[in-house]
Structure formats: structure tokens, C-alpha cells
Amino acid sequence: MKLWVGLGNPGAKYAGNRHNIGWMAVERIAADHGFAPWRGKFQGALTEGTLGREKVLLLKPETFMNLSGQSVGEAMRFYKLTPADVTVFHDELDLAPGKLRLKEGGGHAGHNGLRSIHQHIGPDYARVRLGIGHPGHKDRVAGYVLSDFAKADEDWLDDLLRGISDGAPDLASGDGARFLNAVALRTAPARNGAAPRPKKAEAPPPGETTGDAPDDRTPLRKLMDKFR
């Protein structure tokens, strides 16, 4: 059994906030994969379903972001799970909008939701880091994350959430590479039948993997693309 947690704040006025992209991710998974109706439990909203062969619990803490760990800790202990069974979906300022990375363990980097979870279950859980970009100055961060996504963000946000839902069974089975590929197929769709090609980028830090798909084009396709 897996426990997947989407971070956000409760209430209609926060529903479209950048800070709530974690909630949006688990809501899309639940809707697309026929999960049970959400119900109040563990100071949050909980649903359960099956992804592939794995039973998965989806949790949206409703304690407000900076107390998220209370909800996560309660659920984890009730189901006799360990931090290794927990994956947290959260907004990430240090990634460009629409980018996604997986991370195992590590620090909370000042994220209040992760900080609270660290306090209640420790750091040894997985994270799905969902890029929302940075406003440019630390004094603008609070207002930025607590503002709604702009209309211009709608397309990439929908593609990202669809990709997460597409790859959810692979993530549940522990195949992070296939999950990332499913996301990339939505966020960087193939051109004329070619496989998506990632942009050159620095290698991710230890413990992280990126959301770019591998370049698995045939030599003939690479040659054809070169002269387009």
C-alpha cells in the first residue's frame, strides 16, 4: 500500500493557487483512475483506489500548509506504513513552470509543508517536485505562491497534470523512469511521430531525476530531424 499526499490549503479561495498544485495532482489522479469518493479523515480528505497492482491512498491535508505533517503522520501510523511508502506532491519554486522532478529524501528547502512533514515522519519519504517558477525576489514569494495560476499557465498546467495521471500506475509500481516518460509525452509531445527530445541541461542533483524523456530516436530519424 502506498500513501500519496498532495499539499495545499483548504477553502475555495486557495483552490487555484500555485501553492495548491499538489492537491491538483492527486485530484486529477483520483478522477482519472476511478478512485472512491473523497471522505474526511486524518484532518484531511482521503480516497483510495488501485493503480496497476498497487493499492494507493490519496490524502489532501486540510490543516493548512504549515501543519500538513499532522495529517500525514496520522494516516501513515494508522495504516502501519513507513516513510518509504509515502510520496508527497508539492510546488517547487526552484523549477521552471511545468518541469517535474522526483526526489528521495533530503531537506525541505524552506517549504513549510515539507518542514511540517519532516517534523512528524522524518525526511525519508519521496517527493514529486512540481515546478511553478520563482517570482524573482524572496520578498515576493508569499504573494506569488498564494496567487492563482495565470491564464497563460493553463495549457502547461493541464499537460503536466494529465502526464502525472498517465504515469501514475508506473510511479505506484516504482518505475520512476516510465513515470517521467509519461509526463514528458504530455509536456513535450512528439513531432511528426518522433520521440520527444529533451533540451540539454545540467545533470540533476544526487537523488533526483528529471521529467525529460530519453532520446530514443532511430539513427535514421535523427538524421531526418537534423535537416528539418
Q: Which residues are catalytic?
A: 19
Contact 102, 183 (CB under 8 A): no
Question: What are the Cα distances from residue 16, in Å, to 20, 22, 63, 127, 226?
Answer: 7, 11, 17, 21, 41
CA angle 138, 140, 144 (to 5 degrees): 120
How many helices and strands in the chain, by DSSP H and E?
A: 7, 8
Q: How many CB atoms sit inside 10 A of residue 185's CB?
A: 18
Q: What does the alpha-carbon distance between residue 115 and residue 112 come to, in Å, rounded to a whole number? A: 5
- How far is 98 from 86, CA to CA, in rounded Å? 23
Rg of the chain in Å (alpha carbons): 18
Distance CA 18, CA 139 (A): 16
Q: What residues contact 20, with CB distance under 8 A and at least 6 apart?
A: 7, 8, 9, 14, 91
